[in-house]
Structures are given as structure tokens and as C-alpha cells.
A and B are shown apart, each in its own frame.
Chain A
Amino acid sequence: MKAARFFLIGISVVLCVSMAVSSGQTTVPKAKLPVLTTSAGQSNDVTTVNIVLEEAGIGFDYCDVPDVDMMKAGVGLADKESGPGFHAEIYTDLAKFPKGTPYQTVIFAIGASLKGMGASGLTIETEEARLKRILDYCKQNKIFILAVHVGGTALRGAPGSDNERMIDAVAPFADYIIVTKESNKDSRFTKITESKKIPLTEVDYALDLVAILKQVFE
């Protein structure tokens, strides 16, 4: 009887491990609130991330083009008003995290859009430089960096394209990367995460991010 129980437990463990390995899943790392969402490349993909967080019931601040001064300002982004070339929205629970609380996590939605960068007055070079400043700040201040790519491969373009440059600008510096299977069809993110030893989770749909982000911020 006892032997049978051990056998069943053993089988279950093996099954769970093999399922996790075969689906390319990894243990979901934990991150802390408050969280800021932003775009790497000004595509609409950050809206997807924001909607996912909303669905998951996780409060967040969003800023399309934060820079180091705004990161330093923390929650509320110093009440800077949106206007041409700058957009911010504050949905963080201010009762838990009053204005000025330093961000513990930044989520980068990777995806370049010429239209989006144009509207923000950015070029691919200035966007890369801005991202480097923020990523450096995050590293210096031990802020968790989560990179998300949900736009698929179709828009990524050839090596050296704006989209590819945005991936190179952010992904190697992330603490955790979540992508849709469609975005990783060519294993682009698998290669980065394996070489940099970054946990990677692949999902079928953006909807699947809801459960994962709930776990991340549990």
C-alpha cells in the first residue's frame, strides 16, 4: 500500500516536471508592488499589458515615456499632466502606496511603432537611449524588470529592424520575460533567456498573462 502511494507520488512529480519542461514554462518569479508599466518602442502593446493588469485587479501606474526623474518621483509620477508627447495614467492604490512611493517593478511592453514614436517625438535612437537610462536606474535601485512581448513575429521584421532593436534594448536586462508562443516562434527569446539565465514563460494568449501576473504579484 505504502509502496503504491510512493509510486503514485513519484509518478505525479515526474509528470509535473516533464509538463513544465515540455511547455517551456518556468517557476514564476515574485515581484513587488507598486508597479509601473511602460512601452519599449511606443507600440500599442502596452495597452494590452495595462488591460491585463486591470483584469488581474492589480493597480499600476502607466507612463509612455518615463525617464529617470519620473522614476525617482515614484508613484503618481509627480502629478505630471499628460500632453502632447507625454501620457501618464495613475491606477496604483494610493491608500497602500502613497504618491512618491518608489516603484518596485517596471513592466516593459516591447514593440516598436513608428507611429507611436513619432507621436511621442522619439526616434529609435532616442528611445534606445531613454530605455538604457531607465534600465540602468532599475538595476542600480534593485527594481524588478519584467519584459513582455505579445505582438507576435509578423511585425518584428529583419535583424536590425526597430522591433528587433527594442528587444535587444530590453530583453537581455530583464529579470523575467513573458512572451506569447507566436512572439517566440523563432526562439528569439529562448536564446536570450538561456544565454542570460533569465526565467521565461511562454503563453498562448494575452489572456494567459492575467493568471501569471497574479502569481508574480501574489
Chain B
Amino acid sequence: MKKRIVIPVTALAVLLFAALIIVPAHQYRPANPAMDDFSADGCTVIMVARGASADGSTMATHTCDCGVCDWTWRHVPAADHQPGETRKIYHISQYKTWPPEEGLKWDLYKNDFTGLEIPEVPHTYGYHHGMFGYMNDQQLGIGESTIGCARKLYNNTPTPAFDITMLTLIAMERCKTAREAVQLMGSLAEKHGYGFNDGGEMLAVHDPNELWVFEIMPAGPLWTPESGKPGAIWCAQRLPDDHVCVCPNESRISEVDLQNKDYFLGSAQMVSFATEQGLYDPKSGQPFSWKKAYSPSAGSAVSSNGRRARLWRFFDLVAPSLKLSPETPDMDFPFSVKPDKPISVQDVMAMTRDRSQGTQFDRVKGLRGGPFANPNYFGTTRTIGTSSVEYTTITQCRGWLPAPIGGIIWLSFGLQETSCYMPLYAGITDVPASFKVGDHWILNRDSARWAFDYVDFHTQVVYNGALEEVKKAQAEWEAKTVARIPEVDKEALARYNRSSLEGIGYLDGFCLSHADNVVKAWWKLGDDLFVHFNKLGYYNPEKRAFDRGRNLYPEWWRKAIKVWDVITEPDGK
């Protein structure tokens, strides 16, 4: 009997050992040494045009994937300005943070004045921002993804006045439509220079009618404002009205037709500059491709061992009928596709939580997730949901409502899988106090983000079991809220029609109290998970019982341990 067990286990161990020797360790190398590769771990932007959504809204996400960045939020109120006033432009680093005792980022960034002041406009719109400007009271929404650029284009000197964050804040202050925002950001960057803290960047810029993919590149470190040359090169392509698109840190715009102004906007010099820089050869016989010239990448989901899997995964989720292959190089994927079915805001929430379940890039496939199927243990494949996320936004613009009610930011803090989306209407005049504070290095019970990290931390122990409890809380606090939104809209609209202040006051009350309740619920959920899964069993407070056997290691895990023992201790000592 013993012999019968030992032989297959030994055989399996030998095979496993051989596999460990033969299969090289996973090492991803960027195919293009002229490109930086860090952006492969950055943010994901999912975009849904109004004809592709279930309710006729436009939507864009920003998964703010960093791990060491600031997560705090601010509301900037609308303001009127006198003639002759100027707007100071600041350098804002996505990564720079300050210890809490020194102050908060959205006060201290003003120490980094660039020296540039531009004429102020008579009225600036109110808006909500975190790392970027996300939504203003005119229903202009923005999401961001770093796409990198050819190395020679980086301009990390302080000469260019604009970083990507500052561009989004100015767009929020001054623009009603996506088209206006794209043109304003492009022209300011061309005139005053773009770069310093940032390289190639992509923004999804949308209003209730249009969604534009805006991509911008610095013009290299030798640019000076006196040169008369553009200090940035940019391009924007509009998403067809019944399509969806994704940007997973890779440039998405290919061939450009600047004559077709309904669908393309951009720097007049984009081809000549690329040619000058040796990034495009007009004599090659190939048509000019924006992404191949300015932000080329190579490889596919498969060839990158899943590191570049988000592009394929998104298209496969929204349009499985297309049967797109994970072996297709990312550069060859379409700009956008028509989804197989209309996409709801809950579909988008689910996609931000995606961990490539059931695919070859599944992070819990085989032994990877350990006995409790934890997708955070073995992190070689990159999924849309990722534990380094600071927060995720889904900006939603709904043209059938007045702008302050039509625009919503759905915001979740920390890992999407264990967090909860909360609505912030475009017109509200403040954000919850707990959204304004906190950092990664000091646990702060007044900070909303820590409530969600608290749950996430206690989910790690018995992941699959704890996640079921998190899902129940999400059903209570998130799904029910999504379902309640039409009722909130109706009430807000009725009040807004009587008085805009009354309507906005109602939304202020709803958003702030709802967020406070969710944050409280998540602190309690963290406590509950701690109690329930203590000692790797299950403590049931209602029955005052302890179920020691509920979280037993699965049989396959026990076998895997035996195999490992045979490999590492072949003589059985």
C-alpha cells in the first residue's frame, strides 16, 4: 500500500523537479530598449461610449495603481475671477508624498511653483480631484494611464511647465466638453511644454456625448520655450459611439487622419516631429502610426507571460464573440470594439475587479493561490484588479440629467475585489472628510482608505472564505446603491428644478452620509473577518461556536506538500 503511494508521488516529484530546472525563471524583458517599461505596472482605463452602455451614459475608469502614492481627495469649488487675475501653474508629481506632520499633498504641492502664470478665465468650474482631476460640475470626466514614450522624448528637466496632473486640473476648471478639454490641454502643453514628472501619458476624456482617447508626449530635454517649437506632441482619437476601448499602459492610437476632425485632433507637427527625431521614416512605405512612432511596445499577453494580458483580457470579456487571441501582439489589437452586449456600470465595476479567472493567466491556477485561492500570492501575471491600487474611479456622464446630477464618480479605495464603490455626484460641494487624509505609512482610523485596507488585510488569511463575506457586504452597500441611483436622481432632480441649491444640498447629504456609512461598515467588516477567521477556523458569534474544520486545507494542497517533501527531502529525513 505504502509502495503504491510512494511510486506515483516520487514520479510526480521528479517531473516537477525537472520542470523547475527546465523552465527558466520568469523574466520579462522589454522588447524595445529605447522604451521604459515601468508603465507596464501602472493604471488601467476602461472606456465605454454612450451607445455601448446599458443606459446611454459614457464611462471611463482609472485604477490608480501605484502602491506608494497619495490617495487623498479634494473638492475645488467653482469660482469667479476678476480681469487681470492669473492662474499659477505648479509641478505636481504623481509619486511625491509628504509625511502627515508636514501637511497634505494638496496643500504642499503649491511649494513647487513653476514660475508660469497664465491668464485666468472669468469663471472656473467646481470639480473633484485625487491624483488627477476626475469630474467637474459640467460633467467632464477624466481617467489616466501612463503609456511611456520613446526614451529620447522624455524631458525631465523643469523647463516644461506642465505635468499631466496639472493639465487635468486646468481642464476641469475651464472645460465643459471633452473636445474642449483635449484641445486646451494639447495647446497649453505645446506652448508651455510638457514633461518634467511625466512622460508619455494617456487620458480618457469624456462628456455625456463623446469620449476621447488623448495621448501626449514630451518633446525631449532640449526643448526651450524660446525655440518656437512645440513643447509637447499630442494626439486624440474619439471612440465610436457604440464602442468600448481599454488602455492598459499602452498607446492605443494607430493611424491618424487629422482632416477628420470628428474623430481626430492633435499636434500639426506629429509626423514631421517624429520624422525629425528618427521615430518614423516617411520613405519606409508604411503609413504613419502614432503608437509605433511615439510609444511602441512589443509582445502579447502570452509572450509577456501575462504581464501584458490586460488588453486581450478586456476585449475577451466585452466581446468574446470576436475570439481574439492572447497571442496577438498588443500593437495589433483594434483601437476599440463593439461589445457583445451593452455594458452597465456594474459590468465596469466587475471588470475592475477582474483577476483573469479561468484563463491561462489566472493567478490562482495550480498551486499559485495557495490553499485558499489567494490571487495576491503569485504575482507574475498582471490583472486589471491589482493590490497596488490606491483607488479606482469610474466616471459616468449621463446627458439626460442636468450636469451636477448627471455626472457621477464611483470611487473605491484599495483593492477593488475587497472594496466598495461609492457615488460622488458631480455637483456636490465637498468630499467626505475621511477621503481627505491618510497615507501608507501610518495607520489612520480617520482615513477611509485604511478601512478598506483593514478589510483587505483580513481577507488575505483565508481568502476564498473571507471574500464571500466581502461580497455580501458589497451586495448590501454597493449593488443596492447602484439600484437606488434612479430614485436618488429623481429626488435630486425634483429639488434641483425648484432650486439648484436645494438639489445639490440633497446630493451633498446623500453622498457624504452614504460614504460615511460605507466606511463605518468596512471597519466593522474588518473586525468581523478578524473574529470569524481567527486561528484559521471559523468563529460564529451568533452560535458562539468554533468550526475548526471549515477552512481545512484542500486535498490537492496536502498532496502538493507531500510532493515538495519528496523533492526537498528525498531520503525522508
Contacts and interface: CB of A to CB of B under 8 A. Distances in A.
Interface of A: 43-45, 47-48, 51-52, 55, 82-84, 87, 89, 111, 114-115, 119, 150-152, 154-155, 180, 182, 204-207, 210
Contact of A55 (B36, B91, B222, B224): B222
Contacts of A180: 157-158
Contacts of A51: 152, 220-222
A65 to B, nearest CB: 15
B156 A151 contact: yes
A115 B33 contact: no
B95 interface: yes
A68 B366 CA distance: 44
Given A84-B27, A154-B112, A155-B93, A205 B224 contact: yes
B289 interface: no
B151 interface: yes
B279 to A, nearest CB: 14
Given A151-B158, A205-B222, 10 more contacts: A44-B36, A44-B156, A47-B151, A48-B155, A48-B157, A115-B38, A151-B157, A152-B196, A155-B93, A205-B159
A44 B154 CA distance: 8
A155 B156 CA distance: 10
Contacts of B220: 51
B112 A206 contact: no
A52 B152 CA distance: 10
Contacts of A152: 91, 157-158, 196
Given A48-B221, A51-B152, A154-B112, A206 B33 contact: no
A87 B156 contact: no
In this complex, the member of B68, B155, B158 whose beta carbon has the largest number of chain A beta carbons within 10 angstroms is: B158
A21 B151 CA distance: 37
A182 to B, nearest CB: 5
15 contacts: A45-B156, A47-B151, A48-B154, A48-B155, A83-B27, A84-B29, A87-B33, A119-B38, A154-B196, A180-B157, A180-B158, A182-B157, A182-B159, A207-B221, A207-B224
Contacts of B95: 114-115
A123 B112 CA distance: 26
A21 B29 CA distance: 49
A19 B382 CA distance: 57
B157 A52 contact: no
A113 to B, nearest CB: 9
Nearest to A111: B156
B222 A210 contact: yes
Contacts of B196: 152, 154
Given A52-B221, A52-B222, A84-B27, A206 B157 contact: yes
A109 to B, nearest CB: 10
A111 B154 CA distance: 15
Contacts of B96: 155
B157 A150 contact: yes
A55 B276 CA distance: 13
Contacts of A48: 154-157, 221
A119 B56 CA distance: 43
B156 A43 contact: yes
A152 B196 CA distance: 9
A43 B151 CA distance: 12
A150 B197 CA distance: 13
Contact of B156 (A47, A55, A205, A207): A47
Contacts of A182: 157-159
B246 to A, nearest CB: 24
Given A52-B222, A154-B112, A47 B154 contact: yes
Nearest to A205: B224
B193 to A, nearest CB: 11
A16 B562 CA distance: 83
In this complex, the member of A47, A51, A154, A155 whose beta carbon has the largest number of chain B beta carbons within 10 angstroms is: A154
Given A51-B220, A51-B222, A154 B156 contact: no
B91 A154 contact: yes
Nearest to A154: B112
Contacts of A207: 221-224
Given A51-B222, A55-B222, A115-B38, A206 B159 contact: yes
Nearest to A153: B158
Nearest to B222: A207
Contacts of B27: 83-84
Interface in B185-209: 196-197
Interface string B25-51: 001010001001010000000000000
